[in-house]
Amino acid sequence: MLPDRSGPATIVVEGEKIVRVSGWDEVPDGAVLRDFGRHCLLPGLVDTHVHINEPGRSDWEGFRTATRAAAAGGVTTLVDMPLNCVPETTNVEALEAKRSAARGKAWVDWAAWGGVVHGNADSLPDLVRAGVPGFKCFMIHSGIDGFAWVDESDLRVALERLKGVDVPLLVHAEAAGPVNAATESLNAAHAGWRSYSIYLASRPDEAELDAIALLIRLADECNAHIHIVHLSSARALPLLDAARRRGVRLSVETCLHNLQFASEEIPDGATEFKCAPPIRDAANREALWAALEQGLIDMVTTDHSPCPPAMKRREEGRFDQAWGGVSSLGLALPVVWMAMHRRGIGIDRIAEWMAAAPARLAGFQGHKGQLAAGADADLAVFDPEAAWTVTPEDLHFRHKLSPYLGGELRGRVLETWLRGRQIFAGNEFIGEPGGREQVRQ
């Protein structure tokens, strides 16, 4: 899957880099030839929305387990979110702590988003100089008390401090007002929190619409690049479309679970599906697919966000008390491909949605996310025909609790190569962790 076409080709690798892409039968003399037959050769995927949780919460996840899950799924670059680690990545010392924690454990390349929280505007230029590719913030309580959410005036201060530095601000776009009001009225009516429909009602579309309307205004006024993470409400699409047509610098991602599941199919008490913003109904899901096909949604990420199983409170099954976050790292390729196949969408679009576009978001274009001369030789070998059922043994992240368990998937990652070296093949990890941090140049 090349940037401009798909078809038989030879990828010529020297050391860590792709040096040339040539015709299928143009193999340089003396080269060691690996023929992948009729399988798909994709650029190693880039997942810009992952919660690794280390340092500080390595009982939730960690560099070793998260990056193994990535390697097994053909993902060769992860960008870690700044909130679940302790200390949160809101200043350079915390970034250094993450760098030490990752040493010798990462099977794939990685980077760290910095955090924008209430009161840390002075740290933002230092974090940019230290190499973060951009920042993440919340407009509602993040679930982590140490990662304070931001209001409009905090956002203005942060965007002012980042003026002239071309890094994106990633935003969890839910406004607190509609969520709090809905939750209070559900509680007043003694709602049964084991029901997914109650949880869905507690996080209405209006929360996303209000937040996105404000973000469009700020991106426009401050000429900033704002990136909407995990868009769930398809009702926000017309707003985003109109703003982008006016030239407002917005990018948009949605996640595997928004594209795969539908709220009406989530069983009561199944808290492994809980995330925020929530998974909405099947009509909403189809509208997200249409927006992805039209290019209004730029990319697909996992938002892999695990916790210890006890925190999912599976016995009580109360959606108000369970930790929010879906575990899915390593499953993205077969999940998205299966859904594309059902909808008659050609497989070649996957390289843009899951490798090239996220690489651009993080400023890694040219190095990551495409099979082209000059890029790192990060490769995923994928059999698009394989049919399989997800078992706990297929999950390489720390806790084997995921809504995808037991699910039927289409397509399987056979091999993963990181910078010219095979790191995963035949369900085995090869060699030692050789992942490197990617910093903004």
Question: One symbol per residue from 297 to 326: x for binding Zn ion (CB under 5 A), - otherwise; what is it?
Answer: ------x-----------------------
Q: Of 292, 227, 216, 229, which Cα lies nearest the Cα of 260?
A: 292
Q: How far apart are CA 27 and CA 30, in angstroms?
A: 9
| Nearest distance, CB of residue 79 and Zn ion, angstroms | 11
Q: Which is nearer to Zn ion, 271 or 416 (CB)?
A: 271
| Nearest distance, CB of residue 308 and Zn ion, angstroms | 17
| Nearest distance, CB of residue 305 and Zn ion, angstroms | 5
Question: One symbol per residue from 251 to 290: x for binding Zn ion (CB under 5 A), - otherwise; what is it?
Answer: ----------------------------------------
69 CB-near residues (< 8 Å, 6+ apart): 304, 329, 330, 395, 396, 397
- What residues numbered 201-220 form the site for Zn ion, per CB under 5 A? none
| Cβ atoms 123, 90 nearer than 8 A | yes
Q: Which is nearer to Zn ion, 330 or 433 (CB)?
A: 330
SS3 track for 166-181: CCCEEEECCCHHHHHH
Q: Which stretch binds Zn ion (CB under 5 A): 295-303, 316-324, 351-359, 370-378?
A: 295-303
Q: How far apart are CA 52 and CA 50, in angstroms?
A: 6
| Cβ atoms 80, 98 nearer than 8 A | yes
Q: How far apart are CA 425 and CA 231, in angstroms?
A: 33
Q: Which is nearer to Zn ion, 88 or 303 (CB)?
A: 303
Q: Which is nearer to Zn ion, 143 or 366 (CB)?
A: 143
61 near Zn ion, judged by CB under 5 A: no
| Nearest distance, CB of residue 51 and Zn ion, angstroms | 6
Cis peptide bond N-terminal to 55, omega within 30:
yes
174 near Zn ion, judged by CB under 5 A: no
DSSP 326: B
Q: Which is nearer to Zn ion, 248 or 256 (CB)?
A: 256
Contact set with Zn ion (CB under 5 A): 303
